[in-house]
Structure 1
Amino acid sequence: MGGKGDEILDRTGGKYVEPGGEFTRDQRYIATRITADGSSDWPVEPGRYRLAVSRACPWANRLIIVRRLLGLEDAISMAVAGPTHDKRSWTFDLDPGGRDPVLGIERLADAYFARFPGYERGITVPAMVDVPTGQVVTNDYAQMSLDLSTQWTAHHRPGAPELYPERLRGEIDEVNAVVFADVNNGVYRCGFAGSQEAYERSYHRLFDRLDWLTERLTGQRYLVGDTITEADVRLFTTLVRFDPVYHGHFKCNRQKLTEMPVLWAYARDLFQTPGFGDTVDFDHIKRHYYEVHRDINPTGVVPLGPDLANWLTPHGREQLGGRPFGDGTPPQPAPPAERVDPAHTPLRDVD
């Protein structure tokens, strides 16, 4: 996978920008699926798979949120890699002895090589790993989150929301496609642009889409329908990283998120919703981008700001109506072992 981003291990020794060129994300992921009917040879089976993530990564953050909202913590365990990595692999340096306690490995690469010896593409998070064999099953993050909604239904918690309701899938897919191209990936197109021309094209494309999203969200609380869906999860993980990272580090600086009133209120609404803000680790996010992308930030200095307390200010979006979880209920608090360090999130100030 030549296209790099913070979910993709850089196999070139720290080079993220191609001088003179435009950033292109290689999307050739391991397309294996875990299915309810077992037709993929990898059947849904609670306790069998372990979700490998880094809280720094927006693509992995999607899976953490969806897993929480659907209540799949007991069915799918989670391995959390540290926020930084070297050119060899993401590491489980947060765990005692630097080794994941379930998979027994120090580096996520070991799971990839267990299935594909000599694997030459990027070592990515999120990834689903088969615990009995220690082999990676899939790293196709877009399909993975949809499959948690559609294939793991027998193991959803009572009151789990419908994040990918069948009646709205066409519209959700359409919104996801443009948000991915122009926003989720658009910030990387700005940050990893190798020429002024490539940067300017990406910059205008990003902010044109943010303006489109502002217009869409001015009169409705959520992106599709009147409840939270997969589309909101995908946009949120980029917005929550916008001011700490993308505005400065990736030069996405027409405005800060806090200077875009509609999107800022929308992001705060989601952040204050159980299952969203309580998955966000701002310290890991900043450390990853500023320490790993050394061709953009050669010193590796991590900025202290911005102030995070404003994430907890009233957003007023409830006036637009909508029901966050539809006919469902909020998730329970995360298991103690999976809670974000209280020092890394403003939610520490909330009872």
Structure 2
Amino acid sequence: MPQGRYVEDEFDRDTDYIEDRITEDGRDGWPVEPDRYRLVVSRACPWANRAIIVRRLLGLEDVLGMGVCGPTHDARSWTFDLDPDGRDPVLGIERLQEAFLARYPDYPKGITVPAVVDVPTGQVVTNDFPQITLDLSTQWTKWHREGAPDLYPDHLRAEIDEINEWVYTEVNNGVYRCGFAGRQASYERAYDRLFAALDRLEERLTQRRYLVGEQITEADVRLFTTLVRFDPVYHGHFKANRNKLSEMPALWGYARDLFQTPGFGDTIDFAHIKAHYYVVHSDINPTGVVPKGPDLSGWLTAHGREQLGGRPFGDGTPPPPPRPEETVPAGHTVTA
């Protein structure tokens, strides 16, 4: 479930996260160190999906381990039900909640992914999802793979930050305002606001390949994880149904371009995505029935975005294929 509250029947996301940062200088008491921390994610979650993608693109697999929770959870916490005996093999815990309580025994807020856990102590360090990916780009540079792209270039940061703030408010969170609206009027306001934003993005991406600059940046990662969930989940489950993503030419081409880029589509588990939303959100879908569709084969069709120029990784190179233990299971995604 999303962590939030209702203000005049409109969904308002709780953004009160643990704001400690893992930095090169260790200013918050958490210095960057290889093999010290574990990134805990669920492939179902769009916020966690960002961290999975950035970790892949930067090549941090050798220094930052990743624990993957299952697609569903109960009121207490995300669980490691994909692992043998239902425990994370490194942290030895059944629930992410245990890492939060290890640090804050009376932790009163939501247990969210992504979260970074300090392996020696078993304590959560941070679940501040917007900052986690920025710090992977800017604080872990010593451990980036050779050829890692610069996802947050100095000269573009102001524009990236502006786009990120707007996309978060209007699109990333906009779909949730539609899905969790408490009244008809609230839903219709959210619906109009979301599609006004998507129309604005459609116009922007008609003339340019990426959101900011000539290569993939943090801004593209943040938009992609919402777009890839749009037709499978948000269109039906959240009633964001003016049209499908596949009916918006520029956005659909842009999303396919990224999906077919190494590090993006190979992180997507459509089975987990659908199971999470349709099972966990029992107030919206009380039957728990998970839809069989939509047809996902279109994600691999030609997009033609190369004609707009740009280079996906700038002066960098694509990441290698995902490790076998981190590969999305066959049948859960779209493969050539």
> Which band: TM-score by shorter chain?
over 0.9
Q: Which of 210, 214, 217 is the equivalent residue of 1:226?
A: 214
Distance 2:259 2:266 in 1: 8
TM-superposition CA deviations, 1:43-96 (whole Å, max 9, x none): 000100000000000000000000000000011000000000011111000000
Shift of 1:233: 0.2
1:305 aligned residue (260, 270, 293): 293
1:343 aligns with 2:328: no
Describe how 1:92-131 pairs up with structure 2 within 5 A. 92-131=80-119
Deviation at 1:17, TM superposition (A): 8.1
Q: Tell whether 2:139 aligns with 1:154.
A: no
- Give 3-state SS (helix, strand or coil) of 1:262's partner: helix
Please give the alpha-carbon distance, in whole angstroms, between the structure 1 residues aligned to 2:230 and 2:156: 28
Q: How many Å apart are 1:18 and its aligned residue?
A: 4.9
- 1:170 is matched with 158
Q: Give the Cα–Cα distance (whole angstroms) in 2 for the partners of residues 342 and 70 of structure 1.
A: 25
* CA pair 17-259 structure 1, distance change in 2 beyond 3 A: farther
SS at match of 1:87: coil
Q: 2:79 aligns with which of 81, 87, 91?
A: 91
Distance 1:58 1:86 in 2: 18
Partner of 2:252: 264
Distance 2:29 2:124 in 1: 14
Q: Does the 8 Å CA contact 1:19/1:194 hold for their aligned counterparts? A: no
Report how far residue 38 of structure 1 moved.
1.2
Question: Counterparts of 2:35 and 2:325 in 1: how far apart (Å)?
Answer: 17
Per-residue CA distance 1:152-202 (angstroms, 9 max, x = gap): 000000000000000000000000011000000000000000011111111
CA contact (8 A) 1:54 1:126 kept: yes
Instruction: Choose which of 305, 314, 319 in structure 2 pairs with 1:331.
Output: 319
Residue in structure 1 matching 2:128, options 140, 147, 158 = 140
Q: Look up the SS of the partner of 2:116 in the other structure.
A: strand
Residue 63 in 1 paired to residue 63 in 2? Answer: no
Give SS of 2:261's match.
coil
Residue in 1 aligned with 2:169? 181
Deviation at 1:203, TM superposition (A): 0.7
Give CA-to-partner distance per residue, 1:240-271, whole Å, 9 cap, x none: 00000000000000000011111000000000
TM-score under structure 1 normalisation?
0.94
- Between 1:200-209 and 1:152-161, the stretch displaced more is 200-209
1:24 aligned counterpart, secondary structure: strand
Q: CA deviation at 1:39?
A: 1.3
Q: Distance in 2 between matches of 1:123 and 1:179?
A: 24
Pair 1:123–1:139, CA change in 2 (3 A): same
Counterpart of 2:263 in structure 1 is: 275
1:17–1:193 Cα contact (<8 Å) kept? no
Q: In structure 1, list runs of 5 or more residues that go unmatched.
A: 9-15
User: 2:5, 2:14 within 8 Å by CA — same for their partners in 1?
Assistant: no
Aligned equivalents of 1:19, 1:289: Cα separation in 2:
22
Amino acid aligned to 2:276: H
TM-score, normalization: structure 2? Answer: 0.99
Distance 1:278 1:17 in 2: 34
Q: Is the 8 A contact 2:11 2:180 kept in 1?
A: yes
Structure 2 equivalent of residue 80 of structure 1: 68
Alpha carbons 1:189, 1:199 under 8 Å: kept: yes
Distance 1:220 1:19 in 2: 37
How far the C-alpha of 1:19 sits from its partner, in A, is 9.6
Alignment of structure 1 residues 174-253 onto 2, 5 Å: 174-253=162-241
Q: Tell me which of 277, 280, 303 is aligned to 1:289.
A: 277
Matched position secondary structure for 1:205: helix
Give structure 2 stretches of 5+ with no counterpart.
none
Query: Given the alignment, which residue of 5, 23, 34 partners 2:22?
Result: 34
Query: 1:25 is matched with which residue?
Result: 13
Q: 4+ runs of 1 displaced by more than 2 Å?
A: 16-20
- Which amino acid is the alignment partner of residue 106 of structure 1? E
Contact 2:5 2:12 in 1 (8 A): no
Which whole-Å CA distance do the structure 2 matches of 1:198 and 1:179 have between them? 20
Contact kept, 8 Å, 1:17 with 1:192, in 2: the verdict is no
Quote the sequence identity (%). Answer: 73
Specify the code of the residue in structure 2 equivalent to 1:228: I
**RMSD (Å) for aligned C-alpha atoms:** 1.1
- What code does the residue aligned with 1:173 have? D
Task: Determine the structure 1 residue equivalent to 2:42.
Answer: 54
